Structures are given as structure tokens and as C-alpha cells.
Structure 1
Amino acid sequence: MKRGTLVLNHLKEEYLQPALLESIKQFTDCYPIPENLKDRLPVPSQFYYGKEIWEAAVCAILSGKNLLLAGHKATGKNIFAENLSAIFGRPRWDISFHVNMDASTLIGCDTFENGKVVFRPGPVFQCAKYGGFGILDEINMAKNEALAVLHAALDFRHVIDVPGYERIPLHPAARFIATMNYGYAGTKELNEALTSRFVVIQMPMITHEQLKRLLQCEFPAIKTKYAEQFAALFLELQKKCENSEISSKPLDLRGLLDAVALMERGLEAHTALDMGITNKSFDIYEQTFIRDIIHTRIPRHLEHNQLFEV
């Protein structure tokens, strides 16, 4: 199946406006990518659910804007960024920020090759040159001086100046999609100069119905009863987290999906949920509290054939 077709079919199921679907097709037809970059095209294994967010993001990309996806943990920001890259048929560069990230890591730097000094391009340079989507993950963990090199690329100039080399105009298909969580250790507020260069989407918390659909898509054999129970369990943990009854560590959507995958392999349900959710907290009291919540929804000694169609 053609890359991006899976996401396109998903968008049809989300009842995205036909005019937007046609504009996406025109975009992908207008900007083919080199053969040597096709291995950078993502093949999504999961999909983001939410028509309003999809329409807002697609309109922004088609308008030439860069996106900042802001929101709490487990809102699907990285899945959504991957989906956007797939639906627009663009090669993806993942740029994970940390305190030691500097300008040369983003743009590129000099290196030795065959006895000569040559320029080794960084991910931002390659996005600009080839029309890729640069996923700026946890952008609010980066130092301001590192992010300053993005200013000319993100505003009306659409260029990257490489000191000592050349001035690179951005490919018309190039876009940057940044993600940021609230309240993580090491994060900070973005400065106004950088924020103004993005259009911002506040990612909503996942709903019961969306989570149920995600579980059924990821695990087609799961029985509806337990897809609903796992969705309800996650949302109950989310509520406990919002009320400061537990920390955010066990509120892990990836962990829930990992736990269900372990159950599908035959692992006992409570052991799998311990590995995917409960043990993400290292506080004994909190672990006991979370297990009590799990026990109220998921029976002990749950058999594989009770969870999945065989």
C-alpha cells in the first residue's frame, strides 16, 4: 500500500472536508521527493483521532505555516506529527532537544572527509534543502541560543545562512512541527520571538471514544468490553493525576498500549499493567493505589480468550 494511503483512509473516516483532502493530494503531486529520501517517509502504525485538530493542522500546513503542538502528556503530539508527515508525503527528520543541543547540531558543522574539510549538514539544513518536515520534539527544553538559528527559517525570510558556506532558501514544501509538554523537568517557557513564528494548536486530552478506537485499531482482536474498560481505566488515572492524587509518571498512553501488547502475547493482565503503567511510579504507596484502581476494573486471573477473539 502506498505510504500515506493509510492516513488518507483514516482522514476519510474522520469525515475531513473533501476540499482539504483534494488540496493534500495536490500538495503531494506538486512536490515529489528524491528516491534516496523515500526511506524517510513514515509509515504510521497509529493514528490521531480528532476531526477539528486535523482540519486546523492541515489548513496550517497548506498555508505554509509552521506548527507548535502544545499540551499535556498523552495527548498524541508525536503520533500526530508523524501522521502529518505521512499524509503530505514528506521525508521526516526527528530533532529531539536537550540542554546540550547547539546551533551546529541543527544546521551542520565542518568535518574531515578524505583528508579535506567538508560541511556535514544537520537536520534543519536537510529539511530546508529537500522539503522535509522537521519534528522539533520537546522544543521547550532547548537553549534559546540554539533556537535562534531557526528564526530566519521560520519567519518571512524562509532562509538558512550557513556561516562560511551558502545561503539556503527553504524548499516550498519544508515545514517545522514543534511539540512541547507542560511541567516536565528541564522545560521552560518559549520566548515570544520564537513562539510568534508558529501557529499553535492546544492538543486536547484524549476522549473515551477516541481511546477505545485507538485500542481497537491497534489490537483488532480485542473484545469491545475490554477496549472500553482499558479506556475507562486510563481516563480514571488521568482524572486522579489532574486532582494531584497521583503523579504524572503512571499516566502513560504508550505504557497502556505496551501492556495490552504483552497481554496479546499471553502475559497475565495485571502483570502486564504493572510493567506498562504501575511500575512507572517508584513510590510504593502510589503503586498500591494504582493497583487498587486497576483491580476495580480488570478482574484477576483474566484469561487470554476473555480479552481477545480467538
Structure 2
Amino acid sequence: MTINYSLPNEITTLIKEKRSHSDKFQDLIRQGGYMPPNNDLLIDAITALSMGKNVLLKGPTGAGKTKFAETLSNLFNQPMFSVNCSVDLDAESLLGFKTLSYQGEKQVIEFVPGPVINAMTNGTFLYIDEVNMAKPETLPLINGVLDYRRTITNPFTNDVITAKDGFGVIAAINEGYIGTVPLNEALKNRFIVLEIPYIEGEQLEQLIKTNTQLTDEKLIERFVKLSSDLIQAVVQGKLSEDAASIRALLDACDLSVLIPPKRAVLRSIVDKLDEEREKEFVKNLAETYF
């Protein structure tokens, strides 16, 4: 089955002409809310989705994977149905469920479609978040959805559902966290994998300006430097990945518009950490900048 996607002509032209570094291209990306660390990451994701392939976004928590998925959805002018995986994820959470309803005076059993079937029948994107949080026996239910067949037999109705043109799958994974399990090879082989690193430097500065209420240039610069130090500490094994979450940093930037920056860092970053040693480390870093 060939799946045809419709990228806006403007984006298609800019990519084909290798003008992905142009200001116009950057403006189009910025509208989606995620600025990738490098344009190759975005071009590769667009290419894979345009060819009907599934994309797996792999990276640390708070690196912007969900925002990246939303940006891709925006670029393709595609709505997106979402699945949030957990150990409780089951067939009903993925596919839908039966319920009682009324047709006039008559009581009937009605099937209410879930996110997978909604995305397939509407020809839109499906986003599967924290895919490795699901029990290993759950996700094989949609193996046929994720390969060339793009079909599934609905176990609740016995209907065979084939995805409409435009259907595509984006998934995200955080590795090494409590409650996660390694993806089995059959599932992993159904995806093109993209490593999503933390956003740093100019990209982070731009992200703060466009996604928070903070406008003070000096404060923005200090938050960018703080983020760089936190990421380096994570790389060195001094902090857990939670401490360098870009999502948490953006929250701190927002709060610092109305409360002192050190307290904003305390509420958004420090108090989320479990170990006292890590809390003190981040507090000391914040002291040097604020």
C-alpha cells in the first residue's frame, strides 16, 4: 500500500531546493513550536513520514519529543490522535470499546473507536507516547498497523480496517526509566529511529523567546547557560536526566517573569528531583547565575 502525504507546497519546494536553512523555512518550523538542534533531524523525519514510514523519537525526558511530533503534525497539516502508554494499556485503550446506547426506544450495543482506529479511519497521524511503558504483550496487537499492510482486524467487531491515505505513526521513547521495558525487535524494526538531543545555545534561546513570556535578554542568556551546565552534569553522571528537562526550564522561565529566578528554578526543577545531593547541586548552579 502506498501512502501519500501532502506537505504544504512551500515546504516541499524549500526542501527540494535545499533551502532548509532559509529564514522562510525556519519561520515555518517555528510555527509548530519546536526548533530542532539541526535541520537534518527535521528533514529526515519529514522524509520518512512522506514515504509512509513510522518514526520513533528517542531521547531524554523533556528534550521536546512530544513538541517535535506536534510540529510535524502542524507541518503536514495533519490532526493527531494520541496514545499515552502505561502498564495499564490494553486493547480497549488502543482500539476502542463497546458500550450501550439507544436508537430511539431500542437499546443497542455501539462500538466507540479508540485513537488507533480513529487515526486509521480519518487518515491522520497517530502519536504513541512512551511506547516502552506498555506491557510487551500489548503493542503486538497493532503490528499489522505498523507495517506495509496498514490493516487491523478489530477484535471487538471483527471488522477489517485499512488505514486511509495520510495515516502515519510517530512514537516516542524514554530509555532506562523505571517501568520501561526494551522494545522487542519486531516492533523496533517497524520504525525509523531519530535520536532527539537536548536543545542548546541559539536554538534554546529562540525557543525561550517564542514559547515563554520571558523577554529579559540577560535573564534568557543566563537560563541558556544554566541549561548548558545542567546538560553537561547529566552527561557526566552527576545529575539525572530530569534535571536537564527543557520543559522544566521553560516553566522556570515563565515563572521568573513574576517571581525571582532562583525560586522559579526551585519550583520548576529542584523540587522535582529525588536526591538531596542533586537538589543541592542545582541550587548551587542557580546561585551562580541568579
Cross-structure match for 1:167:
160
Choose which of 5, 15, 18 in structure 2 pairs with 1:17: 15
2:96 equivalent in structure 1 = 108
SS in 1 for 2:33: coil
**Cα distance in 2, alignment partners of residues 20 and 188 from structure 1:** 39
Residue by residue over 1:19-52, the C-alpha shift from the partner in whole angstroms, topping out at 9 and shown as x without a partner, is 589xxxxxxxxxxxxxxxxxxxxx9672232311
- Determine the C-alpha separation between the residues in 2 that align with 1:137 and 1:16: 30
Q: 1:130 to 1:19 in 2, by over 3 A?
A: farther
1:209 alignment partner in structure 2: 202
- Please give the secondary structure, in 2, of the residue aligned with 1:145: coil
Q: Which structure is richer in relative contact order (CA contacts within 8 A, separation 6 or more)?
A: 2
Does residue 1:124 correspond to 2:116, yes or no? Answer: yes
Instruction: Find 1:47's aligned residue among 29, 34, 40.
Output: 34
Q: Which amino acid aligns with 2:80?
A: R
Q: Are 1:66 and 2:64 counterparts? A: no
Please give the secondary structure, in 1, of the residue aligned with 2:242.
coil
Q: What is the CA distance between 1:109 and its match in structure 2?
A: 2.2
SS at match of 1:185: coil
Greater displacement, 46-55 / 231-240: 46-55
After superposition, the C-alpha distances for 1:78-109 in whole angstroms (9 at most, x for unaligned) are 11001111111111111100001012221122
> Is the 8 Å Cα contact of residues 83 and 128 (structure 2) preserved in structure 1?
yes
* Residue 82 of structure 2 corresponds to residue 94 of structure 1: yes
1:222-233 alignment runs, 5 A limit: 222-233=215-226
Partner AA of 1:17 in structure 2:
I
Cα deviation for residue 221 of structure 1 reads: 5.6
The number of residues matched between the two structures is 267
8 Å contact 1:44–1:82 — kept in the other structure? no
Coordinate RMSD, CA, aligned:
2.5
Counterpart-to-counterpart distance in 1, 2:32 and 2:272: 24
Aligned-partner Cα distance in 2 for 1:76–1:89: 20
CA distance in structure 1 between the partners assigned to 2:275 and 2:287 by the alignment: 18
Structure 1 stretch displaced more, 227-236 or 79-88: 227-236
Are residues 1:193 and 2:186 paired? yes
**Are 1:241 and 2:227 an aligned pair?**
no
1:289 counterpart (281, 284, 287):
281
Give structure 1 stretches of 5+ with no counterpart. 1-6, 22-42, 299-310
2:127 to 117, 129, 135: 135
Which runs of 5 or more structure 2 residues have no equivalent in the other structure?
1-6, 20-29
The change in CA–CA distance for 1:221 and 1:261 in structure 2 (over 3 A counts) is closer
Q: Which secondary structure does the structure 1 equivalent of 2:99 belong to?
A: strand
Q: Secondary structure at the match of 1:110?
A: strand
Return the match for 1:154 from 139, 146, 161: 146
CA deviations 1:116-161 (Å, max 9, x no partner) are 1111111100100001111100001111221112111111111121
3-state SS of paired residue (1:272): helix
State the TM-score, normalizing by the size of structure 2. Answer: 0.85
The sequence identity of aligned pairs, in percent, is 31
2:245 maps to 1:252:
yes
Q: Which 4+ stretches in 1 moved above 6 angstroms?
A: none
TM-score, normalised with respect to structure 1: 0.80
Shift of 1:228: 2.1
Q: Secondary structure at the match of 1:249?
A: helix
Q: Any conservation in 2 of the 1:16–1:51 contact (CA below 8 Å)?
A: no
The CA deviation at 1:248 is: 2.7
Question: Residues 72 and 285 of structure 1: is their aligned pair in 2 closer, same or farther, counting only changes over 3 Å?
Answer: closer
The DSSP-based 3-state class of the residue aligned with 1:250 is helix
* Alpha-carbon distance in structure 2 between the residues aligned to 1:259 and 1:276: 5
* Other structure's SS at 1:100 match: coil
